[in-house]
Chain A
């Protein structure tokens, strides 16, 4: 079956990740804040432009009504009618509307045919539709006016065609809406750019922290030299790391010193015991005691030597002696070395090789690490169990696996067993120093190879991955 791109669940997960990312959240927050601010600003602009025109119209109409009422008071109905006719004649476009009716709503003067339907509002304003008698067709547009009651039951309507006003208002609204949309788009972009910048610097800190947690304590967070808050944070974190590294080095130094200082007198004790053993040829009991003491000293020396070997490996000095190593041949030697031991326990030890498996490394050190792993596999696998070794060459490196049919390691203990002096048997009664796997870990770290303990109740699966050694020039 071929791989057809990302499965939908992966895409969903990625989308969910984006939505959850701080960059996205910050950008949205930025857009919302800026949007609200710009919205308020635009509302003010609208009020002070379109609103101003409205108020202007209202003021003109009110002034005209006052003027007409004055005419009526002074010159009576005839005077008012003639003034209205005069004004209608002066305005051929018909943007001003006049209508004077009697108490039966019969037209007395003005350029409007009928009294408009609808009732005036509380302040005497009325909105109505104006029918224009154009050359092609009749169109209607909006108008507004004020009604004034005169003595004798007469009613006067003075209004304005607000078509142009409405058009201008629509134009302003349009411009404001576009402005808001552009602002939102720019804010989104700006927010994204700004928060991405912030997030990238956080991401750098995160990545560095990840690498440090992966074991490279010498890493530091890069500063960008601007001296801003992030630089300050990075500097503080770096100082903290410095301190941690010093403390770690101190602890390690102490244990190395202890191992080193105790090793020398212990070697002397062992040598003296050996001399004693040889002196005691006639006394069998004393001789066997001396023999046991030698074995005990041997065991302690083994522990100290292992500690010091791990310390030396971790110091990285052996990398200078790296050469091309054929892991296939190494595993063949390993299988051959251990086949008799497995056979003695009735276990089957198998090896599967798959392709060339060359890496850069220290042959002795790698072999020692693998010896420790296979030694463990044989030790913990019950009689008639199986131990399967495999070497697989992949595009991106070489994978070694060691699978046994022993009791395995419970998942929660898998990380821990790679630490120094950790043994799953808490009574510490089984032989061994608990340093075997630490040495494996240190040796593999030196080779930038990863080790993973897996498997299940049916046995332990140790997987070691080497990065490709074919790419760098030999």
Chain B
């Protein structure tokens, strides 16, 4: 995985570079907006992590220029501006996701992986599969090891998101955003209860367990 980080804050950049190196990603770093745009336009990156406020050219400007020139590299915005309209402005300009500073590295990593996966799955699928779990998106049916599992509509969406991001960590905030469509940081264990309900349906009578808790971060549906 090749990532370009465009971030002018030295400290943030250092932590991100170190963290990304841990995960095995190859990361380039640029501190200036204009230089960042030139580098990003070379097109050799799998994902861009772009700060919104930069010297030279701001993050929104970089992404707007890239998109106008046909570059589709997934972009994750970083910003200290956390308000709804800032987020909307970032996403409208062509960003794919938005993370408010300060953030946990694990949250950034989880979102980055989700972006990479999204980039690959361009063709709409009708059937998703992880290990012996199958989801038929047209019939809205779920089976594991050939046995049918009955899910509520919301549980179906939750599982679909987890399956689409199998083998990646997804955070509670990501789930609230993607499955429930509400954007805020849930300081509550309410998501956990939904997960444990889902777990009891897809894992209880089967081996091995697929839905795992990643301590302090979120959850992962493990297919391998």
Contact = CB atoms under 8 A, between A and B. Distances in A.
Interface of A: 263-264, 266-268, 270-271, 274-275, 277-278, 291, 294-295, 298, 301-302, 305-306, 312, 317-318, 320-321, 333, 336-338, 340-341, 344, 362-365, 367-368, 371, 375, 436
B190 A371 contact: yes
B193 to A, nearest CB: 4
Interface string B189-224: 110011001000000000000000001100000000
B83 A321 contact: yes
B73 to A, nearest CB: 25
Contacts of A277: 216
Contact of B184 (A295, A336, A368): A368
A364 B182 contact: yes
Q: Is the interface of A mostly helix, strand, loop or mixed?
A: helix
In this complex, the member of A274, A302, A367 whose beta carbon has the largest number of chain B beta carbons within 10 angstroms is: A274
Contacts of B185: 302, 305
B197 A340 contact: yes
A365 B87 CA distance: 14
Contacts of A363: 182
A320 B85 contact: yes
A271 B15 contact: yes
A344 B19 CA distance: 38
A334 B33 CA distance: 42
B85 A291 contact: no
A344 B193 contact: yes
Contacts of A302: 185, 187
B84 A321 contact: yes
10 contacts: A266-B102, A267-B103, A270-B104, A274-B216, A298-B216, A301-B102, A321-B84, A337-B180, A368-B184, A375-B188
B102 A264 contact: yes
Interface string B1-30: 000000000010001001100100000000
Contacts of B137: none
A371 B186 contact: yes
A271 B101 CA distance: 13
Given A275-B19, A320-B85, A341-B190, A364 B184 contact: yes
A344 B101 CA distance: 34
In this complex, the member of B84, B85, B106 whose beta carbon has the largest number of chain A beta carbons within 10 angstroms is: B84
Given A270-B104, A271-B105, A302-B187, A312 B19 contact: no
Given A294-B216, A318-B84, A321-B88, A274 B104 contact: yes
A297 B205 CA distance: 37
A295 B216 contact: yes
Contacts of A344: 193
Nearest to B197: A340
Contacts of B103: 267
A256 to B, nearest CB: 13
A333 B182 CA distance: 10
Contacts of B83: 312, 317-318, 321
A306 B11 CA distance: 24
A277 B19 CA distance: 12
Contacts of A320: 85
Given A263-B102, A341-B193, A306 B187 contact: yes
A256 B158 CA distance: 36
A291 B11 CA distance: 23
B218 to A, nearest CB: 12
B119 interface: no
A323 to B, nearest CB: 10
Interface in B24-57: none
A263 to B, nearest CB: 6
Nearest to A436: B187
